[in-house]
């Protein structure tokens, strides 16, 4: 079974995307496996709405470890299972809290072994100054994924005017990537993401 890792900066919308994409694929409930950085596993059953209430929120680094669910996507006349794994947000800075540092390290370790990278970018924050320079975590994820030909970038929060205006800027800055505009909050653009997943499972 192939694994698709959802990665990006803190508060870019990774967990909301993961749960709403599960709902888009027809799930009303989710069995989520939480894997702590020390390897400890915990499996919990949620309704999708319940999972969003508990796992999503404005707090930075609410997700501190990888959390996976197994989904199915139609491919031809059959449905193929794949693992969708949400991750701790990563950034250029060394975080002051050990639990967050361990969560970031776990995300970076997962990147090396995952089958496909779904890179979530908060398009509302994609200004020229944020995109400039090589010491940029989004650029590093992009270069890593492109080199392995197993990568897509989702320009999230396009329900916001500022984000919609920045999609062209992201497409120009990351010109080797397929950049799909989405709204994780309203499940917009998910048909294109589904087609990408179906083509790579």
Intra-chain end-to-end CA distance of the chain, in Å: 8
- Mean pLDDT per 10-residue interval, the chain, length 201 residues: 96 96 97 92 96 90 91 95 96 81 93 96 81 78 93 96 90 93 98 97 94
Q: Are strands 29-35 and 41-47 parallel, antiparallel or unpaired?
A: antiparallel
The helix/strand/coil state of 157 is coil
Instruction: Give the pLDDT of residue 181.
Output: 97
118's enclosing H/E stretch is strand 116-122
How many H-runs (helices) and E-runs (strands) does the chain carry? 7, 8
Predicted confidence (pLDDT) per residue in 90-125, tens digit: 988 777 788 889 999 999 999 999 999 999 999 998
Instruction: Give the pLDDT of residue 122.
Output: 95
Instruction: Give the pLDDT of residue 146.
Output: 95
Stated pTM of the model = 0.94
Instruction: Give the pLDDT of residue 32.
Output: 97
Instruction: Give the pLDDT of residue 64.
Output: 86
Q: Which residues contact 139 (CB under 8 A, 6 or more apart)?
A: 131, 133, 174
Quote the CATH superfamily of domain 2-198.
P-loop containing nucleotide triphosphate hydrolases (3.40.50.300)
Q: For residue 33, what are the β-bridge partners?
A: 43, 68
CA 88/CA 163 separation, integer angstroms = 22
Domains of the chain by residue range: 2-198
Instruction: Give the pLDDT of residue 134.
Output: 61
Q: Please, are residues 156 and 121 in contact by the beta-carbon 8 Å criterion?
A: yes
């Amino acid at each position: 079974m192939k694994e698709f890792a959802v990665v990006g900066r803190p508060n870019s919308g990774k967990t909301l995307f993961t749960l709403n994409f599960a709902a888009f694929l027809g799930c009303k409930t989710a069995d989520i496996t939480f894997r702590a950085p020390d390897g400890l596993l915990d499996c919990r059953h949620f309704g999708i709405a319940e999972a969003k209430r508990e796992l999503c929120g404005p707090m930075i680094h609410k997700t501190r470890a990888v959390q996976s669910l197994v989904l199915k996507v139609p491919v031809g006349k059959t449905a193929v299972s794949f693992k969708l794994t949400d991750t701790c947000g990563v950034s250029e800075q060394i975080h002051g809290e050990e639990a967050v540092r361990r969560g970031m390290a776990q995300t970076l370790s997962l990147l090396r072994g995952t089958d496909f990278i779904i890179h979530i970018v908060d398009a509302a924050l994609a200004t020229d100054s944020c995109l400039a320079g090589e010491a940029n975590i989004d650029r590093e994820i992009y270069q890593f994924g492109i080199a392995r030909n197993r990568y897509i970038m989702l320009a999230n929060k396009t329900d916001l005017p500022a984000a919609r205006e920045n999609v062209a800027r992201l497409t120009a800055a990351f010109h080797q990537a397929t950049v799909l505009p989405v709204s994780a909050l309203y499940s917009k653009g998910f048909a294109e993401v589904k087609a990408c997943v179906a083509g790579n499972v």
